[in-house]
Amino acid sequence: MTTFLLFVATAIAEILGCWLVWSWLRDNGSAWLLLPAALCLAVFAWLLTLHPTATGRVYAAYGGVYIATALAWLWAVDGVRPTRWDLLGVGLCLAGMAVIMFAPRQA
Residue 74 in domain: yes
pLDDT, tens only, 29-47? 889 999 999 999 999 999 9
Q: Total domain count for the chain?
A: 1
Share of the chain above pLDDT 70, in %: 95
Query: Which tens digits make up the pLDDT trace of 4-37?
Result: 898 899 999 999 999 999 999 998 888 999 999 9
* CA dist., res. 17 & res. 43, Å (int): 9
| Cβ within 8 Å of residue 10, ≥6 positions away | 44, 47, 48, 62, 65, 66
Query: Does 107 fall in a domain?
Result: no
Task: Give, in degrees to the nearest 5, the angle at Cα 72 between 71 and 73.
Answer: 85
The reply to whether 78 falls in a domain is yes
**Domain of residue 51, residue span:** 2-102
